[in-house]
Chains A and B, each alone.
Chain A
């Protein structure tokens, strides 16, 4: 992801929650961790298509709301033998969520 995409204001995402964004053909779930940092991953659970943005998170994992499989938010690796999810670079810049490097 070479281009930078501004997804919207940081205040769109409550602390500790996630919201889904459509970026081109991709659906991306962006999470605002309680330590203040952001994580962006594929919004679709590879197991049964669950909406990951509705999942609960902590400072390392997201838990899919449908069957409670979990993935590492930084690496995209499953902790329970599922295929990995895509991770995207994301950061906050001047109150805006910026996707890309």
Chain B
């Protein structure tokens, strides 16, 4: 049955709420009352209209046609004077009654006028030349008047006052901003940030700012000629704009007997207290003691109201965490939560660069961001707002919160053109990501699967996440699979390992059969499970070859033309003339299209057909270098103390020993190591999964969690030890801890900061948890189980293991280099 819905107020809150209700196919005939004789416009954009960067048409959200098309009866210029809650009707000034079944009060706010002598004219509202800044008509009047005048004064140094001052510069040559408080925007900014903003407003924009300026009188007989301040100062002017704050429009509501305190009192369903059929939303509503003047909370309220009024049970608005990110008069400002610490234990981080007008302050309590103020640089605002909203864990390196370490600028999705390439590996544009969201995919993982964005090197994942969040209206849907070890088994790694042990699951197929509801196998999960089971069960692992990726089936890295690369082991990057000759002969015999030195100090024979692999391995007579697996790869070394004039430790010998011991060890991701003979670091040990640096005095530093690929990170110093044996032992212990605890494909550069270097040191070096012996034993068992896979060649492990899968035609041909 169609119900009569009456909405008092046709501002942003009222119209948005009606839009939300229409979107839910609510069965209502809607009547709206608006004070202003227009459709619905974006009040926030009035300052742009004043500044001349926006047109009147441009700021309309819903024109009159929209109301017609949606069957809404809009009464513009009609003021409701009384609500009869008992009789369920509203009355306008002429006494006309409009009955309702449901009523929404969205009367918003009015511009507050401070009690200043001479501000009003006895015959017509304000004195000639004095304007409020709230409505389209105010703005039109201001523009018309300012055109013929030269000096403007704005009273009020909050957001609105600053915007008005900036906009007036478009029309008059002198603008003075008077603010009664000690610093600008005191509601959002601490004194320091306020002063910084003031310096920019004065220095960059040329607006004169006077703080602690109490305006006492408007001067001028017929029209404004100046204002007087409490200290006697006179500021000459011919335009005065009042932007001293807003007050909720509640008078009529209170007079009608509804509960009004500071605003109209509503419950969590946005219903006016004690009235089942009356709602209130927006700036006029008081929820749990709070009034909200920003659009973010207003949109949330509108959604809850619309859900509730259309019959969705269990919805509740629980209040908003206030944050704002904007350009105030052309200057970046962001503010969220506290503007000053409240407890001695609150962690306060401040960065201040007056010359550039940049100021950043963070307030952190119990490792959660509870407040932030930014002036002059909003590049980190979006990520801070995310931390603030969700209370997520903060990086140990607090500076990462206020700076982009490494120079990556955080692009904001809204400013990015649709054709911007987001994923540079798979060539996915912002538009394609948004398209996937519009197509109903609202989780980050889902969008990545659909578009393959972020599925290459992974560097763009945070950007993909931001775009998905933005395209989905602020937040991505929770992706339950995000915490799973592999997408096809619904468990995080620790739970999964416990279940595997409990059921003694030694094969990939048994994991699917036992732990997946319905038992469905998942191709994309097989490789991760195979790695995990091999690590857990060692010799007892039941190796189903189909669980392996092709690289692990044939022990080579598949290339774009379907051929494979052959990289023989070359421990520590040290070789011999005899070995080189043999490699050369094999390369010639098999007409290897390309011979290439690798970054890990080895030789790569590229373009080898699958069916030739076993014969080549036999001719080479060298073990596999594992350049294809998620496993221990190489130990890069420098020449160390044998020949180098600077070497202080025998890096080659240690590198070879480490590689000899941990060769082929499989893990959740690649493990690339290095040993360097002095801190000059020629072997790049600081940017390896585990890097060892010889320092003078016979000592070795061990760094973990470094990377220099798509992600660049200097490793964290794990510890310094006095012997090569100790390095080898701790290397094994760290790698085992990583193998047991990292997520699938989580490299050490992500794993180490996630766990924290201090915690890793406690476990690996100090053995606080008492598991060091178990880690040592586990890695020893894996070391003993090592078999060179290239020995598996006399008989294929499976029928047709090395049979070609190449199509006869249509292949990208790789050029032969001679």
Q: Could you list which residues of chain A lie within 8 angstroms of chain B, going by C-beta atoms?
A: 11-20, 22, 25, 27, 29, 34, 43-44, 48-59, 61-63, 65-70, 79-81
The answer to whether A44 and B520 touch (CB under 8 A), given A14-B545, A49-B812, A68-B455, is: no
Stretch at the interface among B93-101, B759-767, B801-809: B801-809
Q: Are B524 and A51 in contact (CB under 8 A)?
A: no
Q: Are A13 and B800 in contact (CB under 8 A)?
A: yes
- Residue in B449, B546, B553, B799 whose beta carbon sits within 8 Å of that of A80 in the complex: B449
Chain B interface, >50% SS class: loop
CB closest residue in chain B, given A29: B805
User: What separation, in Å, do the CA atoms of A88 and B518 have in the docked complex?
Assistant: 28
Q: Are B546 and A51 in contact (CB under 8 A)?
A: no
- The answer to the question of B191 belonging to the interface, with a C-beta cut-off of 8 Å to chain A, is no
Sort A-B residue pairs by CB-CB distance and give the 7 closest, nearest first.
A16-B546, A53-B805, A51-B805, A58-B521, A27-B807, A14-B798, A54-B550
Q: Are A14 and B805 in contact (CB under 8 A)?
A: no
Known contacts A14-B546, A25-B809, A49-B812; 20 further A-B pairs (Cβ under 8 A): A11-B799, A12-B800, A14-B799, A16-B545, A17-B546, A20-B807, A43-B807, A52-B805, A54-B550, A55-B523, A56-B524, A56-B550, A58-B520, A58-B522, A59-B521, A66-B560, A68-B452, A68-B455, A80-B451, A81-B450
> Can you list 8 pairs linking A and B with CB atoms under 8 Å apart?
A15-B546, A20-B803, A34-B521, A49-B812, A56-B526, A57-B523, A66-B558, A69-B452
User: What separation, in Å, do the CA atoms of A70 and B812 have in the docked complex?
Assistant: 20
The answer to whether A50 and B562 touch (CB under 8 A), given A17-B798, A59-B520, A62-B523, is: yes
- Interface readout for B536-568 with A: 1 if CB under 8 Å, 0 if not? 000000001111011001000010111000000
Q: Are A16 and B800 in contact (CB under 8 A)?
A: no
Set of chain B residues within 8 Å of A79, measured between Cβ atoms: 449
- The answer to the question of B811 belonging to the interface, with a C-beta cut-off of 8 Å to chain A, is yes
Q: Are A43 and B805 in contact (CB under 8 A)?
A: yes
Set of chain B residues within 8 Å of A65, measured between Cβ atoms: 549-550, 558
Set of chain A residues within 8 Å of B249, measured between Cβ atoms: none
CB closest residue in chain A, given B426: A67
User: What separation, in Å, do the CA atoms of A19 and B560 have in the docked complex?
Assistant: 18
The answer to whether A70 and B523 touch (CB under 8 A), given A14-B798, A51-B562, is: yes
Q: Are B808 and A27 in contact (CB under 8 A)?
A: yes
Set of chain A residues within 8 Å of B810, measured between Cβ atoms: 44, 49
CB of A19 to closest CB in B, whole Å: 5
User: What separation, in Å, do the CA atoms of A57 and B520 have in the docked complex?
Assistant: 12
User: What separation, in Å, do the CA atoms of A43 and B811 have in the docked complex?
Assistant: 12
CB of B519 to closest CB in A, whole Å: 10
Q: Are A34 and B546 in contact (CB under 8 A)?
A: yes
Q: Are A34 and B509 in contact (CB under 8 A)?
A: yes
User: What separation, in Å, do the CA atoms of A12 and B799 have in the docked complex?
Assistant: 6
Q: Are A13 and B799 in contact (CB under 8 A)?
A: yes
- The answer to the question of B527 belonging to the interface, with a C-beta cut-off of 8 Å to chain A, is yes
Set of chain B residues within 8 Å of A63, measured between Cβ atoms: 523-524
User: What separation, in Å, do the CA atoms of A9 and B700 have in the docked complex?
Assistant: 59
- Residue in B798, B799, B804 whose beta carbon sits within 8 Å of that of A20 in the complex: B804
CB of B687 to closest CB in A, whole Å: 27
Q: Are A56 and B527 in contact (CB under 8 A)?
A: yes
Set of chain B residues within 8 Å of A13, measured between Cβ atoms: 799-800
Which of B450, B455, B562, B811 neighbours the largest number of chain A CB atoms within 10 Å of its CB?
Answer: B562
Which of B547, B798, B807, B810 neighbours the largest number of chain A CB atoms within 10 Å of its CB?
Answer: B807
User: What separation, in Å, do the CA atoms of A69 and B550 have in the docked complex?
Assistant: 15
- Interface readout for B520-535 with A: 1 if CB under 8 Å, 0 if not? 1111101100000000
User: What separation, in Å, do the CA atoms of A82 and B657 have in the docked complex?
Assistant: 47
Which of A20, A53, A56 neighbours the largest number of chain B CB atoms within 10 Å of its CB?
Answer: A56
- Residue in A17, A59, A61 whose beta carbon sits within 8 Å of that of B545 in the complex: A17
The answer to whether A56 and B812 touch (CB under 8 A), given A13-B799, A51-B807, is: no
CB of A7 to closest CB in B, whole Å: 12
Q: Are A44 and B560 in contact (CB under 8 A)?
A: no
Set of chain B residues within 8 Å of A62, measured between Cβ atoms: 523
Q: Are A48 and B560 in contact (CB under 8 A)?
A: yes
CB closest residue in chain B, given A52: B805
CB closest residue in chain A, given B801: A14
CB of B448 to closest CB in A, whole Å: 10
CB of A79 to closest CB in B, whole Å: 8
Set of chain A residues within 8 Å of B803, measured between Cβ atoms: 19-20
The answer to whether A19 and B450 touch (CB under 8 A), given A14-B546, A44-B807, is: no
Set of chain B residues within 8 Å of A54, measured between Cβ atoms: 550, 558, 562, 805
Set of chain B residues within 8 Å of A55, measured between Cβ atoms: 523, 550
CB of B548 to closest CB in A, whole Å: 8
CB of A83 to closest CB in B, whole Å: 14
The answer to whether A16 and B524 touch (CB under 8 A), given A27-B807, A48-B560, A51-B805, is: no
CB of A52 to closest CB in B, whole Å: 8
- Residue in B546, B799, B807, B811 whose beta carbon sits within 8 Å of that of A56 in the complex: B546
Set of chain B residues within 8 Å of A56, measured between Cβ atoms: 523-524, 526-527, 546, 549-550
CB closest residue in chain A, given B559: A66
Set of chain A residues within 8 Å of B455, measured between Cβ atoms: 68
User: What separation, in Å, do the CA atoms of A89 and B553 have in the docked complex?
Assistant: 27
Set of chain B residues within 8 Å of A14, measured between Cβ atoms: 545-546, 798-800
Q: Are B805 and A16 in contact (CB under 8 A)?
A: no
Set of chain B residues within 8 Å of A68, measured between Cβ atoms: 452, 455, 524
Q: Are B546 and A20 in contact (CB under 8 A)?
A: no
User: What separation, in Å, do the CA atoms of A56 and B785 have in the docked complex?
Assistant: 26
Set of chain B residues within 8 Å of A43, measured between Cβ atoms: 805, 807
CB of A32 to closest CB in B, whole Å: 9
Q: Are A20 and B805 in contact (CB under 8 A)?
A: yes
User: What separation, in Å, do the CA atoms of A13 and B520 have in the docked complex?
Assistant: 21
- Residue in A11, A20, A67 whose beta carbon sits within 8 Å of that of B806 in the complex: A20
User: What separation, in Å, do the CA atoms of A59 and B523 have in the docked complex?
Assistant: 8
CB closest residue in chain B, given A16: B546
CB of B313 to closest CB in A, whole Å: 36
Q: Are B523 and A58 in contact (CB under 8 A)?
A: yes
CB of B701 to closest CB in A, whole Å: 38
Set of chain B residues within 8 Å of A67, measured between Cβ atoms: 426, 452
Set of chain A residues within 8 Å of B550, measured between Cβ atoms: 54-56, 65
Q: Are A19 and B805 in contact (CB under 8 A)?
A: yes
CB of B805 to closest CB in A, whole Å: 4
CB closest residue in chain B, given A28: B807
Set of chain A residues within 8 Å of B523, measured between Cβ atoms: 55-58, 61-63, 70
Q: Are A48 and B558 in contact (CB under 8 A)?
A: no
Q: Are A19 and B807 in contact (CB under 8 A)?
A: no
